[in-house]
Structure 1
Amino acid sequence: MKAIFYDKYGTPDVLELKEVEKPVPEDNQVLVHIHAASINYGNLVLLKGEPFLARFAFGLFKPKYSIPGGDIAGRVESVGANVKQFQPGDEVLGDLSRCGWGGFAEYVSVPEHALVLKPASLSFEEAAAVPMAAVTALQSIRDKGRVKAGQKVLIHGASGGVGTFAVQIAKSFGAEVTAVCSTRNVKIAKSLGADSVIDYTREDFAKMNDRFDLIIGANGYQPISVYRRALKTNGIFVHVGGSSAQLFQAMTLGPWISLSGDKKVHSFLQRSNQKDLQHIKDLLEKGKVKPVIDKHFALHEVPEAFKYFAEGHAQGKVIIQIEAP
């Protein structure tokens, strides 16, 4: 089969298209013929081996997993003897980040707990946009942010992969949502249901009078102190993505701020699980959440897709088409 392969950390230029052996599913695995995949921030971490601490999980001197790719959507080709949830022909989507990655390939063998059935209303490309970004948004808002109906929530970086889902998921919990994005993304944020939109090129949310119960930092660069001032008493800031400096502050200053005051600061790392992916599937089927797709790239164009994604200006998700549409 064809797959994107790499054996050293570096820039997207280390990625190459190769012929590799097609996997054979074990007794508890499902063999999926992949139709589409997508790029997330975690893929960049695995590619570059940065921040360095990530190498203790993914390989200290060279990548532990030679085929990248976490989000997939495709069709089940065969199942192992102990698989109960799926059968050949099922259309599925899944997150491979806790079971060896391998999504930028024509086939993958994966434990059944990494998959859910694909909503019939979604194309494979739309389904591939969902898993990691949507579950990240769900867990940061529900678990870390402890959102409640009627609360005021600000999503900073509302036009990216996580941000577009965060706006919609916060609305699904009954929150009043303010989206922060650039001028060209205002229309997208409004279409996703944001109650108000701040164009950061024209307004600074930190200088406004509004205060928020929850702020999700999906993509930002401001010091943690800026977000802290914009929180209400007992408000929560959750760092999901953004600058390295902001992440460092959230990890080092966040615990002290949370213990010493009446506001909470958390850093957050998504943990994939089937239950939360099923929750997202239910929201998709009810029409409460929809994926936003920016660009499509073919499998052989994955290095170019990484370069584009790394620029940080994608409007929604960047999709890798494994099968020609």
Structure 2
Amino acid sequence: MKAIVYHKYGPPDVLEFTEIEKPIPEDNQVLVKIHAASVNYGNLVLLKGEPFLARFVFGLLKPKYSIPGGDIAGRVEAVGKDVMQFQPGDEVFGDLSRCGWGGFAEYVSVPENALALKPANLSFEEAAAVPMAAVTALQALRDKGKIQPGQKVLINGASGGVGTFAVQIAKSFGAEVTAVCSTRNLTIVRSIGADHAIDYTKEDFTRKAQSYDLILAANGYQPISAYKRLLSTNGNYVMVGGSGAQMFQAMALGPWISMTGSKKMGNILQRQNQKDLIFMKEILESGKVKPVIDRSYKLSEVPEAFRYFAEGHAQGKVVITM
């Protein structure tokens, strides 16, 4: 089969499009013929081995996993004898980040709990855009942020992969959503349901008088003190991305701020979870949430897709088609 492989950390140039052996599923695995995959921030960490602490998970001196790619959508080709949830022919989507990655290939063998049945109303390309980004937004808003109907929610980085899902998921929970993005993305965030949109190139949202019950930072570089000022009493701030400084402050100062006052400030690392994937399937089929796709690339063009994604200007998700 054809696949993207790499054997050392570095820029997209280290990625190689080549032929390798097609996997054979073990007794507890599902063999999936992949129709589409997508690019996430985790893929960049896997590629570059940065930040350095990630190497204690992905391999200290060289990558532990030779095929990157976390999000997939495709069709089940075969199942091991112990697999109970799927059968050949099922259309599925999933997150491979907890089971060896391997999404940038024509086939992959994975445990069944990494997959769910694909939303019936989505194409393979649309479904591949969902797992990591949507579940990150869901876990940040629902589990960490404790979102409630009627709350005022601010999403910084609302036009990216996580942000576009966060806007829609927050709306599905009955929140009033303010989206922060650049001028070119105002139309997109409004089209997916944002009640208010702030153009950060024209105004500093951290200096506005409005307060918010929940803030999700999916991008940006604002200090944690600025976010704290924006929170209402008993408000929650959740960091899922952004600059290195923003991440460091959320992890280092967030717990201390949370212990010394009524405002809760912290971060969340998305964890692959089949129940959350099934939850997203249902909400996608209801029409309350839809993937936003910026660009599609062929499997052989994955290095180019990485270069574009690393620029940080993608509107929604970058998808790979097989």
Residue 136 (structure 1) aligns with: 136
Partner in structure 2 of residue 71 of structure 1:
71
Aligned pair 1:165/2:186, yes or no? Answer: no
Structure 1: distance between partners of 2:236 and 2:296? 35
* Distance in 2, Cα, partners of 1:151 & 1:280: 21
Tell me the equivalent position of 1:306. Answer: 306
Q: Write the distance in 2 (CA, Å) between the matches of 1:254 and 1:80.
A: 45
Instruction: Give the Cα–Cα distance (whole angstroms) in 2 for the partners of residues 77 and 261 of structure 1.
Output: 54
Letter in 1 for 2:75: R
Q: In the alignment, which residue of structure 2 is the partner of 1:198?
A: 198
Per-residue deviation at 1:149? 0.6
Deviation at 1:97, TM superposition (A): 0.3
**Deviation, structure 1 residue 74:** 0.4
> 2:177: which partner in 1?
177
Partner AA of 1:127 in structure 2? A
For the residue of structure 2 that corresponds to 1:193, the secondary structure is coil
Say which SS state the counterpart of residue 3 (structure 1) adopts.
strand
Q: Deviations over 1:209-233 (max 9, x none)?
A: 1100000001111111111111111
Residues of 1 paired with 2:88 and 2:287: CA distance? Answer: 27
Deviation at 1:204, TM superposition (A): 1.3
C-alpha deviations, 1:32-89, integer Å up to 9, x for none? 0000000000000011111111111110111010000000000100000011111111
Map 1:264-279 to 2 at 5 A.
Answer: 264-279=264-279
> In the alignment, which residue of structure 1 is the partner of 2:258?
258
Q: TM-score, normalised by structure 2?
A: 0.99
More displaced 10-residue stretch of structure 1: 197-206 or 311-320? 197-206
Structure 2: which amino acid aligns with 1:101? Answer: W
| Residues 212-231 of structure 1 aligned to structure 2 (within 5 Å) | 212-231=212-231
The residue identity in structure 2 corresponding to 1:143 is D
- Matched letter for residue 152 of structure 1: K
Counterpart CA distance in 1 for 2:73 and 2:9 is 26
Task: Give, in whole Å, the separation in 1 of the partners of 2:320 and 2:224.
Answer: 34
State the Cα distance separating 1:99 from its structure 2 match.
0.4
Shift of 1:202: 1.2
1:244 correspondence with 2:214: no
1:203 and 1:223 map into 2 onto residues whose CA distance is 16
Secondary structure of 1:300's partner?
Answer: helix
What's the CA shift for 1:185?
0.6
Q: Aligned-pair distance for 1:261? A: 1.6
Show the counterpart of 1:100. Answer: 100
SS of the residue 1:174 aligns to: coil
Give, in whole Å, the separation in 2 of the partners of 1:189 and 1:297: 24
Partner Cα distance (2:268, 2:11) in 1:
25
Q: By how many angstroms is 1:18 displaced?
A: 1.2
Supply the RMSD in Å over aligned alpha carbons: 0.6
- 1:183-241 CA deviation, whole Å, 9 max, x = no partner? 11111101111111111111211111110000000111111111111111111110100
Amino acid aligned to 2:178: T
SS of aligned partner of 1:148: coil
2:101 counterpart SS class: coil
Question: Using the alignment, how far apart are the partners of 1:61 and 1:267 within structure 2?
Answer: 28
Q: Distance in 2 between matches of 1:311 and 1:11?
A: 13
Residue in 2 that maps onto 1:53: 53
The SS at the match of 1:93 is strand
The amino acid of 1:139's aligned partner reads Q
Equivalent residue runs for 1:13-32 within 5 Å: 13-32=13-32
How many angstroms does 1:176 deviate by?
0.6
SS of match in other structure, 2:33:
strand
Gaps of 5+ in 1: none
Where structure 2 has 5 or more consecutive residues not aligned to the other structure, the ranges are none
Runs of 4+ in 1 over 4 A off after TM superposition: none
